[in-house]
Structure 1
């Protein structure tokens, strides 16, 4: 019989995972009756606490670890710089742990790194886990058993409806909806979306932005058309120029001829898409208008200057630092899911239709 996990024990007792952890560690901030009930259930079902996880708290330093998995793009660099500043102002050093291979981004790796470094808190910056939703959810649940405060930054917690970790992210849905509405207000009716993943998953950035695009079409009274949803050609590098280029290049061979605008999943993908359009003899914005998402610095120097949703990087970083530091001070505090609205910045990559 497999060993009972802390998640299963929490479900049996009808409490949060953090409550079980605190009860098993004799923390004073747990109601005595609740602590006794949890300990009795642990004995009944044979739950054995992860002693190595408990030891993580012993001798922790004034250092916070930022985990970055896979792609390390410009947006993450900018957020990281702001996080380092915010933590430094609070008296903490920051160290970076980059897991380049998504297959190695598992709870065991995280626990080993945290144990060796004795970090006081952890930030997951950018994507985590694999493209498979259930695998990511399992990773999130395993991470909850590591007794160190964690916050997800620029990505939500994939553990399910009852999130186990706080998260701070831009409002992807609202941003894509606003971009689509902007194009519709300028007379565009045949608007495509570039960068959809292979599986519908409402929690990934591309899926939230795709849903926002569809909502924007509905707001404008435009019927959706699956032929205008461009799938990612390079799923493991969804938010890259390469993916934008290869996706649009492939799609243009069968694309409807009446498309007048593209909503790219991000700025990098938009720039790649522009190259593909150019190679096909199409000009931006004379033939096709183009918008991105993120507000990367390169969008200001791209020709034509890209219309985009700018992510409020300082606000995202400050909110992440606030939530993590508060959780470090009060481990049992309520989970926060923070969505921050981006800002639409018009560029030269969109033209009004007459």
Structure 2
């Protein structure tokens, strides 16, 4: 291979190393002006780089132990407004500290989560923020062994050495269910989120706790599985309506499913909240503009991304952080989708 042949093509550090007859690490040391390379070889590599119009990328810097100034965000989805606001919080805060964002989506699939994490290394990012459903011990061990600083979002790990940012989902769900009960509702259906999602389980626990405190018997027939999507909420609500079990309210474990539930109820010829009250969780933008506007539990979505990024950058800079788990509070937002029973 000659410099003339590959000039004007999309070059990699591998190409430069092959042309110079050296390792990628040697090229990286020259790019980053590190010692350990003879002057003769340094001049040779620099001439090849100049002749080829090669522009070094973050991987070249990472090979020499330099910071890439990239932060990685592993996230299930980008189309959902909840995740979009997490991304906004991470990106804006990253930019504030002169970091750029690398985004990796997994679609909530266990195999893809594992594959994405194992592909990421220190030559690509300086640190990772992770939102994943299938977090296991070997997953965490791999991250520790890689030596890349990382922070979890929405995963309350018991490992005292791991940093995480979570929301008090249980308390938020308890408050939401208590509100429905205060309006006279006792037959309340519940729409579960993704089966592997910790936050969905926490919200269900908060819901059950409210029933217990108010001496309301739990009816398992009023629970349907969704997947945190509008379509999932729509299908789950249709199943509830087809069962024939009586209920006067639905607590959906996120806003997207609550919006899907509204659609299913309207298709059945019923009205929200006249026939069925609905409450969601998240307070995404759409919750305030649907008909009727959705009562929901607000979690500080943007702040979650911001906080996780601030922690990660401190870890990247090797600053000591005493607190490992950061829990943010929720707030009940009352709108027009809930109504007191007569």
The interval holding the TM-score normalised by the smaller chain is: 0.7 to 0.9
Aligned to 1:249: 238
Q: Which residue of 2 aligns with 1:5?
A: none
Unaligned runs of 5+ in 2: 1-61
Q: What is the deviation of 1:120?
A: 1.2
Q: Which residue of 1 aligns with 2:34?
A: none
Distance 1:249 1:71, change over 3 A: farther
Correspondence list, 1:80-229, <5 A: 80-100=87-107, 102-107=109-114, 109-117=116-124, 119-124=125-130, 126=131, 128-130=132-134, 136-153=136-153, 155-156=154-155, 161-162=158-159, 164-195=161-192, 204-229=198-223
Change (3 A) 1:184 1:57: farther
Against the structure 1 CA distance between its residues 270 and 308, is the aligned structure 2 distance closer, same or farther, given a 3 Å change threshold?
A: same
Secondary structure at 2:121 match in 1: helix
Native 8 Å contact 1:66 1:95 kept in 2: yes
- TM-score for the superposition, normalised by structure 2: 0.75
Matched-pair contact (CA < 8 Å) for 2:265–2:271:
yes
| C-alpha separation in 2, matches of 1:64 and 1:216 | 40
Q: Secondary structure at the match of 2:178?
A: helix
Residue of structure 2 equivalent to 1:58: 65
**Aligned residues of 2:77 and 2:83 also touching (Cα < 8 A):** no
Q: Structure 1 residues 178, 298: closer, same or farther in 2, change over 3 A? A: same
- The alignment of Structure 1 onto Structure 2 pairs a total of residues equal to 281
Partner of 1:350: 338
Range that drifts further, 58-67 or 169-178: 58-67
Q: How many angstroms does 1:115 deviate by? A: 4.0
Secondary structure in 2 matching 1:141 = helix
Select between 294-303 and 140-149 the one with higher mean Cα deviation.
Answer: 140-149
Aligned pairs for 1:12-51 within 5 A: none
Q: Which runs of 5+ in 1 are unaligned?
A: 1-54, 233-237
Asked whether the equivalents of residues 69 and 105 of structure 1 are also in contact (C-alpha less than 8 Å), the reply is no
Question: Is the contact made by 1:144 and 1:165 (CA closer than 8 Å) also made in structure 2?
Answer: no
Larger Rg: 2
Report if the CA contact (8 A) 1:111-1:146 is conserved. no
- The structure-2 alpha-carbon separation of the partners of 1:247 and 1:138, relative to structure 1 and needing over 3 Å to count, comes to farther
1:77 positional shift: 0.8
- Using the alignment, how far apart are the partners of 1:315 and 1:101 within structure 2? 22
1:18 corresponding residue in structure 2: none
Would the alpha carbon gap of residues 109 and 116 (structure 1) be closer, same or farther in structure 2, given more than 3 Å must change?
farther
Instruction: Supply the RMSD in Å over aligned alpha carbons.
Output: 2.4
Q: TM-score, normalised on structure 1?
A: 0.73
